[in-house]
Amino acid sequence: MSLTISDGPLSRRAPATTNYTISGPAHNLLMHPFPRRVRAEFGGETMADTTRGMLLHETGLLPQLYFPEEDIRADLLEPTEHTTHCPFKGDASYRTARVGDRVVENAVWSYPQPTAEAPWLAGYAAFYWDSMDAWYDEDEQVHGHLRDPYHRVDARASSRHVRVLDGDQLLADSDRPLLLSETGLPNRFYLPRADVRIEVLKPTDTETVCPYKGTATYVGRDGQDLAWIYEHPLEDATKIAGHICFDPSKVIVEVDGERVG
Protein backbone atom coordinates (compact mmCIF):
# COMPACT_ATOMS: atom_id res chain seq x y z
CA MET A 1 0.00 0.00 0.00
CA SER A 2 2.82 2.40 0.80
CA LEU A 3 4.10 2.18 -2.77
CA THR A 4 0.85 2.93 -4.58
CA ILE A 5 -1.31 5.32 -2.52
CA SER A 6 -0.93 8.47 -0.45
CA ASP A 7 2.55 9.88 -1.19
CA GLY A 8 4.20 6.57 -2.09
CA PRO A 9 6.66 6.49 -5.02
CA LEU A 10 4.12 4.76 -7.30
CA SER A 11 1.15 6.92 -6.27
CA ARG A 12 -0.45 9.62 -8.38
CA ARG A 13 0.80 12.19 -5.87
CA ALA A 14 4.41 11.11 -5.48
CA PRO A 15 6.36 13.63 -3.36
CA ALA A 16 8.49 16.32 -4.98
CA THR A 17 11.05 16.12 -2.15
CA THR A 18 13.32 13.64 -3.95
CA ASN A 19 16.58 13.76 -5.88
CA TYR A 20 15.28 11.35 -8.54
CA THR A 21 12.50 11.00 -11.07
CA ILE A 22 10.59 7.92 -12.17
CA SER A 23 10.50 7.80 -15.94
CA GLY A 24 7.36 6.17 -17.27
CA PRO A 25 3.58 6.41 -17.40
CA ALA A 26 1.49 8.03 -14.69
CA HIS A 27 0.06 4.57 -13.96
CA ASN A 28 2.83 2.29 -12.70
CA LEU A 29 3.12 -1.47 -12.20
CA LEU A 30 5.63 -3.28 -10.01
CA MET A 31 5.62 -7.06 -9.56
CA HIS A 32 7.84 -8.90 -7.10
CA PRO A 33 7.86 -12.24 -5.27
CA PHE A 34 5.66 -12.63 -2.20
CA PRO A 35 7.92 -14.11 0.50
CA ARG A 36 5.60 -16.77 1.98
CA ARG A 37 3.35 -19.68 1.03
CA VAL A 38 -0.25 -18.71 0.18
CA ARG A 39 -3.28 -20.99 -0.14
CA ALA A 40 -6.87 -20.40 -1.21
CA GLU A 41 -9.68 -22.81 -0.26
CA PHE A 42 -13.10 -23.16 -1.83
CA GLY A 43 -15.81 -25.76 -1.30
CA GLY A 44 -13.54 -27.92 0.84
CA GLU A 45 -10.84 -28.01 -1.86
CA THR A 46 -7.48 -26.26 -2.06
CA MET A 47 -8.00 -24.11 -5.13
CA ALA A 48 -4.46 -22.69 -5.19
CA ASP A 49 -1.28 -23.35 -3.23
CA THR A 50 2.01 -21.63 -3.98
CA THR A 51 5.37 -20.61 -2.61
CA ARG A 52 6.00 -18.72 -5.87
CA GLY A 53 3.30 -16.08 -5.70
CA MET A 54 3.94 -12.64 -7.18
CA LEU A 55 2.59 -9.43 -5.64
CA LEU A 56 1.52 -6.80 -8.15
CA HIS A 57 1.61 -3.18 -6.98
CA GLU A 58 -0.46 -0.89 -9.20
CA THR A 59 -0.97 2.84 -8.88
CA GLY A 60 -4.01 3.64 -6.74
CA LEU A 61 -4.86 -0.01 -6.00
CA LEU A 62 -4.19 -2.47 -3.22
CA PRO A 63 -1.50 -5.05 -4.03
CA GLN A 64 -2.82 -8.17 -5.78
CA LEU A 65 -1.35 -11.65 -5.48
CA TYR A 66 -0.87 -13.60 -8.72
CA PHE A 67 -0.43 -17.38 -8.70
CA PRO A 68 1.60 -19.35 -11.25
CA GLU A 69 -0.89 -21.28 -13.38
CA GLU A 70 0.87 -24.53 -12.36
CA ASP A 71 -0.11 -23.91 -8.74
CA ILE A 72 -3.85 -23.54 -9.46
CA ARG A 73 -6.37 -26.39 -9.67
CA ALA A 74 -7.26 -26.00 -13.34
CA ASP A 75 -9.67 -28.97 -13.08
CA LEU A 76 -11.89 -26.88 -10.78
CA LEU A 77 -12.07 -23.92 -13.17
CA GLU A 78 -14.20 -23.38 -16.28
CA PRO A 79 -13.46 -20.72 -18.96
CA THR A 80 -16.16 -18.10 -19.50
CA GLU A 81 -16.93 -15.62 -22.25
CA HIS A 82 -16.32 -12.67 -19.93
CA THR A 83 -13.40 -10.36 -20.75
CA THR A 84 -12.20 -6.97 -19.57
CA HIS A 85 -9.59 -4.58 -20.92
CA CYS A 86 -6.89 -2.79 -18.94
CA PRO A 87 -4.80 -0.27 -20.92
CA PHE A 88 -1.81 -1.08 -18.72
CA LYS A 89 -2.04 -4.88 -18.54
CA GLY A 90 -4.05 -6.02 -21.55
CA ASP A 91 -7.18 -8.13 -22.14
CA ALA A 92 -8.17 -10.31 -19.19
CA SER A 93 -9.79 -13.72 -19.56
CA TYR A 94 -11.95 -15.14 -16.76
CA ARG A 95 -12.76 -18.54 -15.31
CA THR A 96 -15.53 -19.75 -13.02
CA ALA A 97 -14.74 -21.77 -9.88
CA ARG A 98 -16.90 -24.89 -9.45
CA VAL A 99 -16.74 -27.50 -6.67
CA GLY A 100 -19.81 -29.72 -6.48
CA ASP A 101 -22.82 -27.42 -6.26
CA ARG A 102 -20.68 -24.44 -5.22
CA VAL A 103 -20.12 -21.99 -8.09
CA VAL A 104 -18.55 -18.53 -8.28
CA GLU A 105 -18.75 -16.93 -11.71
CA ASN A 106 -15.63 -15.24 -13.06
CA ALA A 107 -13.69 -15.82 -9.86
CA VAL A 108 -10.27 -15.93 -11.56
CA TRP A 109 -8.68 -13.71 -14.19
CA SER A 110 -5.44 -13.80 -16.16
CA TYR A 111 -3.72 -12.00 -19.03
CA PRO A 112 -2.81 -14.67 -21.62
CA GLN A 113 -1.32 -12.00 -23.89
CA PRO A 114 -0.38 -9.06 -21.69
CA THR A 115 0.81 -5.72 -23.04
CA ALA A 116 4.39 -5.32 -24.16
CA GLU A 117 5.01 -3.24 -21.01
CA ALA A 118 3.93 -6.10 -18.67
CA PRO A 119 5.04 -9.39 -20.31
CA TRP A 120 5.75 -10.95 -16.91
CA LEU A 121 2.00 -11.29 -16.26
CA ALA A 122 1.84 -14.18 -18.72
CA GLY A 123 1.47 -17.52 -16.97
CA TYR A 124 -0.07 -16.03 -13.82
CA ALA A 125 -3.66 -15.72 -12.59
CA ALA A 126 -5.38 -13.90 -9.73
CA PHE A 127 -8.49 -14.55 -7.63
CA TYR A 128 -11.13 -12.17 -6.36
CA TRP A 129 -10.55 -12.33 -2.63
CA ASP A 130 -14.21 -12.76 -1.69
CA SER A 131 -14.69 -15.58 -4.20
CA MET A 132 -12.81 -18.02 -1.98
CA ASP A 133 -13.93 -19.43 1.37
CA ALA A 134 -10.60 -19.00 3.14
CA TRP A 135 -7.08 -17.71 2.58
CA TYR A 136 -3.90 -18.74 4.39
CA ASP A 137 -0.55 -16.99 4.73
CA GLU A 138 1.61 -19.98 5.64
CA ASP A 139 -0.69 -21.71 8.19
CA GLU A 140 -2.44 -18.60 9.51
CA GLN A 141 -5.84 -17.68 8.11
CA VAL A 142 -5.95 -14.19 6.65
CA HIS A 143 -8.95 -11.85 6.79
CA GLY A 144 -9.35 -8.72 4.70
CA HIS A 145 -6.48 -9.21 2.25
CA LEU A 146 -2.82 -10.26 2.26
CA ARG A 147 -0.48 -7.99 4.13
CA ASP A 148 1.69 -5.74 2.02
CA PRO A 149 5.38 -6.15 3.01
CA TYR A 150 5.76 -2.38 2.62
CA HIS A 151 2.93 -1.54 5.04
CA ARG A 152 3.62 -0.73 8.71
CA VAL A 153 1.56 -0.17 11.84
CA ASP A 154 3.23 1.54 14.82
CA ALA A 155 1.52 2.44 18.11
CA ARG A 156 3.27 4.83 20.51
CA ALA A 157 2.37 6.12 23.96
CA SER A 158 1.73 9.86 23.86
CA SER A 159 1.04 12.71 26.27
CA ARG A 160 -0.80 14.89 23.77
CA HIS A 161 -4.08 16.35 24.99
CA VAL A 162 -6.99 14.89 23.00
CA ARG A 163 -10.58 16.09 23.34
CA VAL A 164 -13.54 14.70 21.42
CA LEU A 165 -16.84 16.55 21.08
CA ASP A 166 -20.15 15.73 19.44
CA GLY A 167 -21.49 19.21 18.91
CA ASP A 168 -21.17 20.84 22.34
CA GLN A 169 -21.10 17.55 24.26
CA LEU A 170 -17.73 16.30 25.47
CA LEU A 171 -17.26 12.60 24.66
CA ALA A 172 -13.63 12.13 25.67
CA ASP A 173 -10.73 13.95 27.32
CA SER A 174 -7.31 12.30 27.57
CA ASP A 175 -3.66 13.14 28.21
CA ARG A 176 -2.53 9.55 27.65
CA PRO A 177 -3.62 8.51 24.17
CA LEU A 178 -1.90 5.96 22.00
CA LEU A 179 -0.89 7.41 18.64
CA LEU A 180 -1.20 4.87 15.85
CA SER A 181 0.70 5.56 12.62
CA GLU A 182 -0.24 3.38 9.66
CA THR A 183 1.34 3.57 6.23
CA GLY A 184 -0.67 5.69 3.82
CA LEU A 185 -3.22 6.78 6.43
CA PRO A 186 -3.56 9.75 8.82
CA ASN A 187 -2.38 9.32 12.40
CA ARG A 188 -5.14 8.09 14.70
CA PHE A 189 -5.46 8.59 18.46
CA TYR A 190 -6.71 5.64 20.51
CA LEU A 191 -8.03 6.63 23.92
CA PRO A 192 -8.29 4.58 27.13
CA ARG A 193 -11.86 3.62 27.99
CA ALA A 194 -11.57 5.42 31.32
CA ASP A 195 -11.08 8.72 29.45
CA VAL A 196 -14.19 8.25 27.29
CA ARG A 197 -17.80 8.86 28.30
CA ILE A 198 -18.64 5.36 27.21
CA GLU A 199 -22.04 5.52 28.93
CA VAL A 200 -23.36 7.86 26.21
CA LEU A 201 -22.20 5.55 23.40
CA LYS A 202 -23.99 2.41 22.31
CA PRO A 203 -22.60 -0.62 20.44
CA THR A 204 -23.71 -0.78 16.79
CA ASP A 205 -23.92 -3.73 14.42
CA THR A 206 -20.97 -2.53 12.33
CA GLU A 207 -17.85 -4.69 12.13
CA THR A 208 -14.84 -4.22 9.88
CA VAL A 209 -11.68 -6.24 9.29
CA CYS A 210 -8.19 -4.81 8.82
CA PRO A 211 -5.45 -7.31 7.86
CA TYR A 212 -2.94 -5.30 9.90
CA LYS A 213 -4.97 -4.52 13.04
CA GLY A 214 -7.72 -7.15 13.20
CA THR A 215 -11.49 -6.98 13.66
CA ALA A 216 -13.04 -3.72 14.83
CA THR A 217 -16.41 -3.23 16.48
CA TYR A 218 -18.14 0.16 16.59
CA VAL A 219 -19.98 2.42 19.04
CA GLY A 220 -22.06 5.46 18.32
CA ARG A 221 -25.16 7.54 18.94
CA ASP A 222 -28.51 7.86 17.19
CA GLY A 223 -27.65 4.98 14.86
CA GLN A 224 -24.42 6.56 13.62
CA ASP A 225 -20.98 4.96 14.02
CA LEU A 226 -18.71 7.43 15.82
CA ALA A 227 -15.78 5.31 17.01
CA TRP A 228 -14.20 1.88 16.70
CA ILE A 229 -12.49 -0.54 19.05
CA TYR A 230 -10.09 -3.43 18.48
CA GLU A 231 -10.75 -5.65 21.47
CA HIS A 232 -8.34 -8.35 20.30
CA PRO A 233 -5.97 -6.76 17.79
CA LEU A 234 -3.36 -8.60 15.74
CA GLU A 235 0.25 -8.73 16.88
CA ASP A 236 1.31 -5.51 15.12
CA ALA A 237 -1.29 -3.50 17.06
CA THR A 238 -1.57 -5.18 20.46
CA LYS A 239 -1.08 -1.89 22.32
CA ILE A 240 -4.43 -0.52 21.13
CA ALA A 241 -6.46 -3.41 22.60
CA GLY A 242 -9.65 -2.04 24.17
CA HIS A 243 -8.82 1.58 23.30
CA ILE A 244 -11.36 3.75 21.48
CA CYS A 245 -10.66 5.72 18.30
CA PHE A 246 -13.10 8.38 17.15
CA ASP A 247 -13.80 9.15 13.51
CA PRO A 248 -12.83 12.81 12.92
CA SER A 249 -15.28 12.99 10.01
CA LYS A 250 -18.16 12.27 12.41
CA VAL A 251 -17.12 14.19 15.56
CA ILE A 252 -14.73 16.98 16.52
CA VAL A 253 -11.30 15.66 17.50
CA GLU A 254 -8.93 18.24 18.99
CA VAL A 255 -5.25 17.50 19.61
CA ASP A 256 -3.40 20.04 21.76
CA GLY A 257 -6.17 22.53 21.03
CA GLU A 258 -6.20 22.11 17.25
CA ARG A 259 -8.85 20.24 15.32
CA VAL A 260 -7.69 17.30 13.22
CA GLY A 261 -9.56 15.67 10.39
| Residue pLDDT, tens place only, 71-109 | 999 999 999 999 999 999 999 999 999 999 999 999 999
What end-to-end distance do the CA atoms of the chain give, in Å?
21
Greatest alpha-carbon span in the chain: 62
Of 33, 95, 86, the closest CA to residue 60 belongs to 86
Q: What is residue 69's three-state secondary structure?
A: helix
In the 8-state DSSP scheme, what is residue 81?
A: E
Partners of residue 182 on adjacent β-strands: 153
Q: What is the pLDDT of residues 153-208, one digit of tens each?
A: 999 999 999 999 999 999 999 999 999 999 888 999 999 999 999 999 999 999 99
Domains parsed from the chain with CATH numbers: 29-142 (2.170.150.40), 153-260 (2.170.150.40)
- pTM of this structure: 0.82
Question: For the chain, what is the mean pLDDT?
Answer: 94
